[in-house]
Each structure stands twice: as structure tokens, then as C-alpha cells.
Amino acid sequence: MTSSPLLEMNALGIDLPLDGTVRTVVHRADVSIHEGTAVALVGESGSGKSLTARSVLRLLPQGARIHGDLLFAGESVPAMKPERLRAFRASDVAMVFQDPRAHINPARSVGDFLVEGLTTARGVPAAEAAKKVTGILREVGIPDADRRMRQRPHELSGGLLQRVMIAAALAAEPRLLLADEPTTALDVTTQEEVMAIIGEAREARGLAMLFITHDLELAAAVCDRVVVMYAGSTVEEVPAGRLRSGAAHPYTRALLASRPPVGDPHAPLRSIKGWPLSGFEVPEGCAFSERCPRVQDPCHSDTPQPRMAGDSRTACHFPHTHSPEEVGSHA
Ligand SMILES: Nc1ncnc2c1ncn2[C@@H]1O[C@H](COP(=O)(O)OP(=O)(O)OP(=O)(O)O)[C@@H](O)[C@H]1O
Ligand SMILES: [Mg+2]
């Protein structure tokens, strides 16, 4: 791909104040998303997926520091002044979270929440805003929009409320959607419906997406590229269509192996030995070395740097190799 990415993180790091000191929780995140495409960010709990996504909107805990490059359409996000940051949050990038109830005022009506998002942040006149959100609610599968707008959040099921949050995100007409495990709290049928709604909305608008999930297969199904994160670093990036054949990092392979094979949901699950680490716990060398079946001496002392091979990128001293036809010949 020749055009420059819509979102570009190069060696992005995040430091947080923890227990009276400053600790690095994200060491190195390399994530690029081109206009209209979808990138999945996968990895175990605590690996830094949410912080990485939140850094795009600078929605980080008090005292957090970002280092490295974080560019949106070529503009540095960390360098944005408050006024520009407000406009950026109101119109360029929107976020949908795992738990919609934690991100909506329970005392206000759904309609007030949606309309205020447009009137306050974007200066849209109230009547126009109401008409617009009604249309978007219908688009996300809420036909009785007028009734729903009068209700309070607790009167809506989790699935309906997540649709409201997606509607709020879409109303801002963003170019990039950050979806942080948007379906994890929902039952399976509702999960599928919500993913379908996001897919349709993306297609209709040419909307780019960063999709966070624990589920590698879902990641590959709904995204163009899959980025795997471990203990605060992105360790591999592969095109979604070649996730199984092209994954070279032992961690990605282990994640894939820990899932039952497609078509055989009753096969035993294999877990990865040991525990996942958080970014601030990583040892010297490769963070995965303690759990890695391919570990050798250099892994304990040298941090592996990301290297391109074909259209994939892997940070590993001893990656799995593929036959040439598997690796492909993309620029
Ligand atoms: N507000 C905070 N203050 C201190 N540490 C934090 C804060 N938020 C996150 N962390 C720590 O940073 C690390 C990465 O957290 P993050 O929430 O990004 O992980 P994650 O990959 O999204 O995990 P999960 O899959 O459980 O959502 C974790 O060790 C977490 O404990
Ligand atoms: Mg998270």
C-alpha cells in the first residue's frame, strides 16, 4: 500500500505513574491503519491493548506519558493543543467500549445523551441533531427510535445499549472507530448482531477501525490485518487471511493452538504454559521468553526488534519459517 496511513503508531510507548514511581506499561506498539481498513489488536489480558487504543484519543490515566510517534492523518496527536484535541475527539475518531453502562450517564435519557453529543461537541442545532440520531438508531437496528430515546439506560438490554453507543460513535462521522471488545459482555447471538451492525456501518461510510478482542478467529474474520500484542509490545502483524498459515511468532502460534480447530469445537483446548505478563513486569530480553517453546540464549538478553518478512512483521529471534508460497510476495 503506497498512501500514508490514517493512523500511524511507530514505537509508541506509554508510561504510567504506579506505586509512587513511573512504570512503562506499553513498551513498543507499532500499529498502522489505512483509510477504510480494519486492524485487530489481540492479546491476553493486561498486554496493553486498551491503553494503546485509548492513547489515540489521549484518554489515558492522569500523569500518563506517551513516547514515540502517534500520528493521525499525518498530524501528531500528542502535540495537539486542547482546542484541537477537543475537535479531534468530536469528529475524527470515536470509541466504543466493552461496558456501555460505564460510559453513559444513568440519570439522563438515551436521547439526551445522543443529541448532546452532537449539540455540545459539534454545535449541531438540537432539532437537526434529534433527526440525525433517530436515523442512525434505525440504521443500527433500533426501529422504535423515538420510544428508545425517551428511555433511561437501565431500561435497555446490554445489546440495545451497545447499539446506542455505536450510534453515538457514528453520529460524530468519524474516520476511525476504536472498538475495545465491544461484544465481550454480550450473549453470542447479540455479539453477532452487533458485529454485523459495525460491519455494515463501516462499509456504508468507508470507516477505518481498530478492533480489540481476545478472539483471534473473530479478529481475522472482521479485519484486514491482525496485530498481536504481548506484555506491552506488538510482537507480530499478519494479513488476516494468512493468520493460520503466516503466523511466525511462537506466541501467535500458541494463541492459535489454544483454540479448538474450526469445525471441531469439542477438541481439547491447549493452554499456553505460564502466566501472561503486564508491560511493567517484563524481564530483560524477549518478554515471551519464559513461556516460549523455541527459547534460546539470546532471548534472555536481547529484545527482539520487529522485522518485515513478506507482508508480515514479527519481533522474534527464532520465528517459525514458512515456505515461499506461504509467505507470499507482497510489497
Ligand atoms: N489506570 C491505570 N493505572 C495503573 N495501571 C493501569 C491502568 N490502566 C491499565 N493499567 C495497567 O496497564 C496494563 C495494560 O492494561 P490494559 O488495560 O491496556 O490491558 P488490556 O490488554 O486491555 O487487558 P484486558 O484484555 O484485560 O482488557 C495492565 O497491567 C494494567 O494493570
Ligand atoms: Mg482492555
Contact at 8 Å (CB) between 236 and 304? no
What integer best gives the mean pLDDT of the chain? 91
Alpha carbon of 42 to ligand 1 centroid (Å): 14
Q: Please give all residues whose CB falls under 5 A of ion ligand 2, grouped by chain where several chains appear.
A: 50
Residues sharing a CB contact under 8 Å with residue 256, sequence separation 6 or more, in sequence order = 216, 243, 244, 247
Q: Domain 7-92+174-327 maps to which CATH number in 3.40.47.10, 3.40.50.10800, 3.40.50.300, 3.40.50.1110? A: 3.40.50.300
Q: Atom 31 (ligand 1): residue with closest C-alpha?
A: 46
Q: Is the pLDDT of residue 183 over 70?
A: yes
- Determine whether the shortest distance from the Cβ of 279 to ligand 1 is under 6 A: yes
Cα angle, residue 255 at apex, residues 49 and 270 outer, rounded to 5°: 135
Distance CA 294, CA 162 (A): 42
| Rounded mean pLDDT, 235-250 | 95
The confidence score (pLDDT) of residue 269 equals 54
The confidence score (pLDDT) of residue 53 equals 98
What's the pTM value of the predicted model, to 2 decimals? 0.93
Alpha carbon of 47 to ligand 1 centroid (Å): 7
Q: Atom 14 (ligand 1): residue with closest C-alpha?
A: 48
- Determine whether the shortest distance from the Cβ of 55 to ligand 1 is under 6 A: no
Closest residue by Cα to residue 56 from 218, 189, 209:
209
Distance CA 329, CA 103 (A): 44
Closest residue by Cα to residue 320 from 294, 297, 299, 298:
294
The ranges assigned to domains in the chain are 7-92+174-327, 102-173
Alpha carbon of 23 to ligand 1 centroid (Å): 12
Give the ligand 1 atom nearest the CA of 232. Answer: 14
94-106 burial: b if 16+ Cβ within 10 Å, else e: bbbbbbbeeebee
The confidence score (pLDDT) of residue 121 equals 82
Could you tell me whether strands 225-230 and 307-309 are parallel, antiparallel, or unpaired per DSSP bridges?
unpaired
- Count the Cβ atoms, other than its own, within 10 Å of residue 144: 10
Q: Atom 27 (ligand 1): residue with closest C-alpha?
A: 45
Ligand 1 pocket test, candidate residues 14, 22, 25, most atoms within 8 A of CB: 25
- Count the Cβ atoms, other than its own, within 10 Å of residue 241: 13
